[in-house]
Amino acid sequence: MRRVATAFVITAALSVMASACLPLARAPATSTPESPTPTLSLPPSAAPSSSLIPAGPSPSPSPTAASVNDIHVTAVATMPADPHFFSVGSQDTTRILLFDSSATRPPVEVVRFDPAPPVGGPEVQTVAFGASGDGRVLVVARRFSQQRTVHYLVRPQTGEVLVLLTDLAPSFSTPVVSPDGTRYAYARLGDANSTGVFIADARAGPDPKRIVASDPQIVGSPPQPVAWSNDGAWLAVSTSDTGGSRIGVVKVQAGETTFDVSGGQFTRGDAHLLGPGHTIDWRGGEQNLLVASSRSAFGGRSFVYTTTIAGGQPREVYVPTGETVISDAEWHPSLDRFFVYEVPLCCGANRPATIWIRKADGTGTRLFEAAIGPPWWSKDGTRLWAQTVGDDSVSGFRDLLSTDVVMFCLRSPTPPCA
């Protein structure tokens, strides 16, 4: 299916309650001018260098220099051994907090933002971020308007903030940071020469390189980066359309590949589809990938399967009996079991989620059923945390394997909660 004079907007904001929803959909929005190439602005302290700017015509209007004055970082003296970053609030009230998954201390505020200046048109301001495996690098994407997104480098331990790039494009994407924190991937919708998945240097930037090209006129384009392999050699990407979601893997060092969204084929480089899916867990290594696929209101199928980096026939390890959306599935660190997080396909906010613990052969039991956010394992696998539903000022984390609960404020850094 081709687009007709439309541009594509991805709204991937992180919110206080990571509520389950349909897999990421590719929906056309109102027509906006497209920029031929990713448009970059250096921090004021950096001297411009033509070698850092991709070749190509400059978009109109020219971007104004981005500033770090509107983003505030509270340095964390000692990084927890098991860091978990999350966000609360929305738009200009977004705050990024840090929680130690190995302890029961309340989370601390790491990043907050000043209100963005008003702009004409729809209110699209939002914030999304990605983190390195050790938590020492955050890449934050802040969308100021329909055609202006700024990427920031944040180092939580030092409080350092740098502008990595400013992108003038009618799309928004959550940055996916490599495990070692040196690179990040993001999706971009532009013209034929600037649509796809890009990889940028997360240490200094800018100079993004396109790793997956796709046709901007096809529904489901561009693909979205999902997760890096443990060694950073592969990047998983997914695409969704009316037929459901599909997931593939791209070998980064092999150079740019092109993905035919409508035909489901990669050409050039070293990349291939694994099958249906929108999430992937690399914890089991290249020979034991765990992939979750979910249906939407338009099609697709919900199930969890294992496969290898080479693809081939998947082994189904969980198929729900009802009409549900599978938002996530992750291996336990011991790789002998995994959790599945699913919600009913329909309808309303705060739908009760079901969390299953299943063995590698697919057998398992229901662990928890309530209005609760997607869980995550602690590094040692002794805890399975999830965010609970609170009121408009308080929320909390619950360890589903014990009785431990950690409460925190949604608006203020410390109690009393505003």
Quick one: which of 161, 216, 176, 164 has its CA closest to 193?
Answer: 216
Pairing assessment for the beta strands 209-213 and 257-260 based on DSSP bridges: parallel
pLDDT for position 236 = 98
282 or 348: which carries more pLDDT confidence? 282
Distance (Å, whole) CA 219 – CA 240: 8
Q: What is the mean pLDDT of the chain?
A: 83
Q: Whose CA is closest to 76, among 128, 132, 129, 137?
A: 137
Strand bridging mode 71-73 / 28-29: unpaired
Q: Please, is 52 exposed, middle or buried when counting C-beta atoms within 10 Å of its C-beta (0-12, 13-18, 19+)?
A: middle
pLDDT for 205 = 63
3-class SS at 254? helix
Domains of the chain in sequence order: 7-43+66-409 (2.130.10.120)
Per-residue pLDDT tens digits for 265-309: 999 999 999 999 999 999 999 999 999 999 877 778 999 999 999
- pLDDT confidence tier of residue 121, bands split at 50, 70 and 90: confident
pLDDT for 331 equals 98
Tell me the C-alpha distance between 160 and 156, whole Å: 7
Give the residue carrying structure tokens 């991709």: 54
Distance CA 224, CA 198 (A): 10
- 58 — pLDDT class (breaks 50, 70, 90): very low
Q: Are 307 and 274 spatial neighbours (Cβ–Cβ below 8 Å)? A: yes
Q: What is the average per-residue pLDDT within 392-415?
A: 91
What's the rounded mean pLDDT across residues 187-209?
A: 89
Contacts with 409 (C-beta within 8 Å, 6 or more apart), sequence order: 393, 394, 415, 417, 418
Q: How much is the pLDDT for 295?
A: 85
Helix (H) or strand (E) run with residue 275 in it: strand 271-276
281, amino acid identity? D
**Digit-coded pLDDT (tens) for 384-395:** 999 997 788 899
